[in-house]
Each structure stands twice: as structure tokens, then as C-alpha cells.
Structure 1
Amino acid sequence: MMAEYLLFATERYALPILQPLAQALQAGGHGVHAWFVDGASGASLPAPVRRIDDARAAVALKPRAVFSAANWVPPFVSGAKVQLFHGFNVEKRDAARGHFRVRGLFDLYCTQGPATTAPFRELAAQAGHFAVVETGWPKLDPLFGEADPLARQLRDAAGGRPVVLFASTFTERLSAAPHLFDAIAAEVARGDRYWLLTLHPKCAPEWFDRYRALAGDNARFVETEQLVSAQRAADVLVADTTSVVSEFVVQRKPVVTFRNRAPKPHMLDFDDPARLPEMLDHAFSPPPALLAALDAYAEAIHPWRDGRSSQRVIAATDALLAGELGPLRRKPWGALLRRLQIRRELGYWGPAGG
């Protein structure tokens, strides 16, 4: 029997997270709907995913589960509330405010790897109102799945040259985009390597304009929705404290980071833009110790390399709904205020879905 599922997002960068899951649900013969609000408003996923336009329609759908790639989820919609995460834990904030903050809204956390599974299981044991299953991250399924035509197109455009991907966070105090522009522009002009350039959707428009202007024979600007293909195509990443660093490392490829907030042994971190050429040379000739560190970190954050994390998310959700993950306590009263805030933000004061 076909079941209906709802995908929920608040930012454009959630689309590559949800698309592999949508495909897996559709392959299972289920109906898939998407409700995008705030920064994701106006975005869409390819058919046959159907769009939900407002809260009333989401409630009327009565989905079996709601999969969220945001920090929150509409609690008044029926179905299991499943947290997929919008990125890896890159230590931008204190743990209590960042990746490991529990908001009392989700029934199931689908974690990416041991580094996040263990802390969330400890939190689940304390709170008792949600379950935790390590599934891997749907966004990375295409990194290890079937052939990627766009990734091949990007490699072909390089004409046999090494490929460097540049990505930057939008957080102003952590962003490399302003500091590395001149150094990257010089590298692009030199032309011995091919550059793929992308920015977080929340970066200032002026930086989008400047980086887009570098596109030509030696560089291409890629949109957020193309990021996974760009990661698959690139040999080396240049970045800052963006979670793209962790996504890229899962492939066991070298990363060069500019003033990373919490540099690790698998990163080639530097703080002087003039050193970019030197750091790139190191990345393209990685020593054994660096390769070992890359492998160890990848195993900790996302050991799954079969391209089937979406299927594991669906299986974990089925197990939750079947009661196989154990009984859950009621959500904490402390989350009541947040639930009311969500209703106000989404303009819905009707009854909750059954």
C-alpha cells in the first residue's frame, strides 16, 4: 500500500540532502511531497515530488513521516518526525548550542557516523523522548552511487588538469571568501589547475558577483544544488569552517582550510592568503600521515560508502513506527513555547494532524 511522506526544509542547501531520499521513497512506490519555507521558499525537487504550499495542506496530507533537513520541524503535522541534519558537526558553536542541541521536536535522529551517533545516544538515554539510528547521510549517496553525468562534465571541462573546489561558509567571522579572493583569482588566471567555485547561499551578494566573474576557461561557478557533483569531480578542496570540508573528506581527498575554527590533523590549515599556492602543492602531493588522518576522520564521521544511506533512513523510520526502537516518553513541556512559535511562524492555529 502506498504511503505518503513529507520532506521539510527551510534553506536551499537542504535540497541535495532530500533529493536522494525522495528518489529512494519513490523507488519504493510511495508518494513524496515537499514543503519548503523561509530560505527554501520557491525551491522545488524534480517530479514526481509534489509541492505542499501551506500548513493546512501539510496537515491534510497526514504523512506517515516528516523528514527534516532543518533544525526544526512542524510538530502539528502527523507522522514520525525524523531529523536528517543540514550538515556535519564542524564545531562552529558550543555543543549545547550547535549540532547536539535537542529541541524536543523529533522522534528519530538519523546520525551520520560514530562521531555523532555516540553523543546522540547518550542524549537519548537521558531524555527518553527520541530514538537514534546510525544511517549515514542521504546527501552523500550520490558521491558513491551510479555515474554522475555532471561530475563527468566538470572533469571534462578541466581538459586533463587537476581540479580544485573552493567552498565557503556564510558566517562572516569564519568565511574565507573575502580573504582568499585575490589569491584564488591569481590561481585561476594562471590556469594550470581548473577551479570549481561555490558559496553558501547566505553569503553576501557582492561575493557571489565577484566569484561568478572568475568563471571562464579556467573556472566554473557551481550552484548549491550542484555541490555534490562538484565534490565528486574535484581532487582537492579549499575551504574554511564550512561543513563541506567534512563532506569532501568522506571521499578521502585532501582539504586545505583557511583559519578553520577547530583545525584537525586531516586538514592543511593556514592563515596567510599568500601561502595558498604552497598549500595547494602540499595537497596535491599528500604525505602518508595526511592520508591516514583523512581515512581515520572519514571513518569516524561517515563510514558508509555504499550510496544507500537513504534506504537506511527509510528502514529506521519503519522500525520506529513499528515500535521496534522501544517506547518513547512524551515530549518535554519545555518545548511547548517553541511549538507555539512554530505555529505563529507558519500561520497555522488549526488542529494537529491525526
Structure 2
Amino acid sequence: MPTQSSSTSLNRRKKYLLYIAQNYSYAILRPLQAAILARGDDVKWFVHGDEVNQSYFEEGEQRLGSVEEVIAYQPDAVFVPGNIVPDFIPGLKVQVFHGFNAGKVSDKRGHFNIRGFFDLYCTQGENTTLPFLQLAQRHQHFSIAETGWPAIDPLYNYTPVVNAKSTVLLCSTFSRNFTCAPHLFEQVKRLSETGRWNWLVQFHPKMDKAIVDQYKGIQNEHLTFVETDNVLPLLQKADVMVCDTSSVLIMFLLLGKPVVTFKTARPKDYLLDFDNPTELEQHIETALTHPEPLMTKIAEYKQQTHPYEDGKSAERVLAAVDERLAGLHKPAKRKPLNLLRRFKIRKQFNYWKL
């Protein structure tokens, strides 16, 4: 139990920082912002890098413009949907992830890579919690709390509708080794021109511009290319997704909807995977029939990956932070010095104060 003095200090209005380095971070962090404001606490944003489109900020969202302002703000906790966070920013460093583990890279380099920056990892479900608990036991310098992923709190807040014409959502990662976009272009173009289904196309913000321009060039009354920082409304609207190895397919599965994948890196029994572009149409047709064996596997996957459908993962994250700030679940060791990584980050920011 915290002491009386620490308990009193934790009852004050807390300050939180939302650290953003990619456009997709807006949608990930806004549910946390809403939960913080509902508590009556204070929250501010800090942007790092040129890849963030600051026109996406909404009215009333408060930004800090420099490292000096961030340090003066003295946040209690920093929420990061990415792999790194500067050590010189004050506060508990909380990893909330930029997506689910889609298997695009090995565990040693990807989702389960421990870089030594974070105090607390907020995991999404059993298949991320168990590996991170093992990592926490090995490294002993961070703690774990299974909270669900705040980014998809709004995912369940909608009323399903039956589309007059089935809607297909095409999503693709930018990686040349995994993207389906260039391989399926001719088939998507042909199918959209038939008018059989409505198409929505949305790509990772780092997608090759030439591919983006290709798909923009085939827009018609049945195909719309969507540029957005919030993919959730698209997931809610679509009946089936066509994808590759992008983690966005996991969010679609969590709605209990079928996903057709082209040469995914890790074929699973809850996906309809194929490797010949000419088979795209028949796989979409199969997905739209909701075959019972497939839907059973999707339900099992949902339970292992993200069992929370209450839209309250942000509140669970804040509760986990409260416990760490109160001195609970403190790791046995301090974080590693990480000197080379810290130097590289300070060089990026041109910040050398100690």
C-alpha cells in the first residue's frame, strides 16, 4: 500500500503526455486522451518528426512545441505507440503499441523486441501478455499489465448495418516484401469496374507514392481511395477485407469479419490466404458466405488476441499507470543505460542537457 503522503500526491490532477511520431498515432492515442479528460486530469501532445500531419489535430487538443516545454510540463506518464521514447522526457514511459503482432518481422526485431526505453508495457490479450511476462521475468526492468488496446475502444461503438451491396476493404502494408497492392492492382481494377461490390482502398501512410497514384487513378463510382488517420470507420463499414501482412487485418478479425490475404507471412486457419492474383474474386465470394469453420476459428482468435469488447481499454491503461505511480509492481532492476540509443535520440533532437 502507498504511504499517506504518496496517496495524497496521487490524488492531485495528473499530467499526461501523448508522444506522436506517425499519423496513425492520432487514432491510437485519442481514446486515452478522452479517458484522461473524463477523469479531470491534464493531457498534452508532443510531435516528433516530419511525417506527422499536424493538420489532423482537432480543436481543443493542446500541443507542446519543444523539448523544453515538455520538460517544464513534467508529465507523470508518457504514452508511446512506437518503439522509442527519449530518456530525457520526464514521467513513466508507457508502451501502448502501434498495432498488433502481424508477424511481418521476427519477434527479436519486431513486436517483442525490448529496447530498454519503457517502464510499463500495456498488452492486448493472452497472445501478447504471456510472451511479455516471460520477457519481464528475464529482463526485470519493466512491468506488464494486460489492458486491451485503447486504439480500438471506439471499434465496438457502432451499429452494424447490412449493406445493399457488399463492401470490400483493401488494406496493404508498405513493405515491398509483404505488400499485396501492386500484385492485386489489375484484379481490383477489373472487379471494381463490374460494379459487383463497392470497394474502399486504404494504405499504410508509408506506401510507395507510385502505387498510391495507381489506385487513385482507378477511382470510380464503385471504388474510393481513402486517406485518413482513422481506419476504424472503414473497418466498421466493410463486409470483407483484402489484405496481406498488415496488422490492420487483426482489428477487422476482432469485429468477427472474414479476411482474405495475399501471400501473408504467417498463414493461419482464421484467414483465407491465396497466392495467385486471379483467385482474388473466388476468395472474396467464399468470405462473404461466412463459412462456419472459418468463423469458429475467427472467434477463437478474437478471444486470444483481444478479449475486451467493452471499449474501456484506455481506462484499464490509466489504472495500470496509477498502480505503477503508487509504487506497485516495481521492477527489480533499473532500465539499462542504453548509451548508444540515447546518444542517437539526443542527436535527432539536438538536445544535450543533462
TM-score range, shorter chain: over 0.9
Read off the aligned partner of 1:143 and give its amino acid letter: L
Task: Quote how far apart the aligned CAs of 1:39 are.
Answer: 4.8
CA distance in 2, matches of 1:167, 1:188: 15
Task: Quote how far apart the aligned CAs of 1:226 are.
Answer: 3.1
Per mean C-alpha deviation after superposition, the further-off stretch among 258-267 and 38-47 is: 38-47
Counterpart for residue 352 of structure 2: 349
- Structure 1 runs not aligned, ≥5 long: none
Counterpart for residue 267 of structure 2: 263
Read off the aligned partner of 2:87 and give its amino acid letter: P
Q: 1:48 to 1:329 in 2, by over 3 A?
A: farther
Residues 1:46 and 2:58 aligned together: yes
Query: Does structure 2 conserve the Cα–Cα contact (< 8 Å) formed by 1:56 and 1:348?
Result: no
Read off the aligned partner of 1:117 and give its amino acid letter: T
Task: Identify which of 313, 337, 342 aligns with 1:339.
Answer: 342
CA distance in 1, matches of 2:211, 2:50: 18
Counterpart for residue 9 of structure 2: none
Residues 1:21 and 2:32 aligned together: yes
3-state SS, counterpart of residue 113 of structure 2? coil
3-state SS, counterpart of residue 229 of structure 1? helix
Task: Identify which of 215, 221, 228 aligns with 1:217.
Answer: 221
TM alignment of 1:1-354, pairs within 5 A: 1-43=12-54, 44-145=56-157, 160-333=164-337, 335-351=338-354
CA distance in 2, matches of 1:83, 1:217: 41
Query: Does structure 2 conserve the Cα–Cα contact (< 8 Å) formed by 1:200 and 1:224?
Result: no
3-state SS, counterpart of residue 173 of structure 1? coil
Read off the aligned partner of 1:75 and give its amino acid letter: D
3-state SS, counterpart of residue 229 of structure 2? helix
CA distance in 2, matches of 1:219, 1:5: 41
Read off the aligned partner of 1:87 and give its amino acid letter: G
CA distance in 2, matches of 1:180, 1:110: 36
Read off the aligned partner of 2:107 and give its amino acid letter: A
Identity %: 40
Task: Quote how far apart the aligned CAs of 1:163 are.
Answer: 1.0
3-state SS, counterpart of residue 24 of structure 2? helix
CA distance in 1, matches of 2:276, 2:167: 22
CA distance in 1, matches of 2:76, 2:195: 52
CA distance in 1, matches of 2:134, 2:13: 35
Task: Quote how far apart the aligned CAs of 1:111 are.
Answer: 0.5
Query: Does structure 1 conserve the Cα–Cα contact (< 8 Å) formed by 2:93 and 2:120?
Result: yes
Task: Quote how far apart the aligned CAs of 1:327 are.
Answer: 4.1
CA distance in 2, matches of 1:326, 1:234: 43
| Structural RMSD (CA) | 1.6
Query: Does structure 2 conserve the Cα–Cα contact (< 8 Å) formed by 1:9 and 1:40?
Result: no
Task: Quote how far apart the aligned CAs of 1:332 are.
Answer: 1.4
TM-score, length of structure 1 as denominator length: 0.93
The superposition leaves residues 163-192 of structure 1 with CA deviations (integer Å, 9 ceiling, x where unpaired) of 111000000111001000111111111112
Read off the aligned partner of 2:277 and give its amino acid letter: P
CA distance in 2, matches of 1:269, 1:138: 29
Task: Quote how far apart the aligned CAs of 1:213 are.
Answer: 2.7
Task: Quote how far apart the aligned CAs of 1:279 are.
Answer: 0.4
Number of residue-to-residue matches in the alignment: 342
Query: Does structure 2 conserve the Cα–Cα contact (< 8 Å) formed by 1:238 and 1:257?
Result: yes
3-state SS, counterpart of residue 226 of structure 1? coil
Query: Does structure 1 conserve the Cα–Cα contact (< 8 Å) formed by 2:44 and 2:64?
Result: yes
Query: Does structure 2 conserve the Cα–Cα contact (< 8 Å) formed by 1:143 and 1:228?
Result: yes
Query: Does structure 1 conserve the Cα–Cα contact (< 8 Å) formed by 2:122 and 2:147?
Result: yes
CA distance in 2, matches of 1:305, 1:39: 35
TM-score, length of structure 2 as denominator length: 0.93
Read off the aligned partner of 2:28 and give its amino acid letter: I
3-state SS, counterpart of residue 7 of structure 1? strand
Per mean C-alpha deviation after superposition, the further-off stretch among 202-211 and 229-238 is: 202-211
3-state SS, counterpart of residue 92 of structure 1? coil
Task: Quote how far apart the aligned CAs of 1:285 are.
Answer: 0.9
CA distance in 2, matches of 1:244, 1:299: 17
Read off the aligned partner of 2:31 and give its amino acid letter: P
Task: Quote how far apart the aligned CAs of 1:286 are.
Answer: 2.3
Read off the aligned partner of 2:284 and give its amino acid letter: L
The superposition leaves residues 36-63 of structure 1 with CA deviations (integer Å, 9 ceiling, x where unpaired) of 2225434243232211222111111100
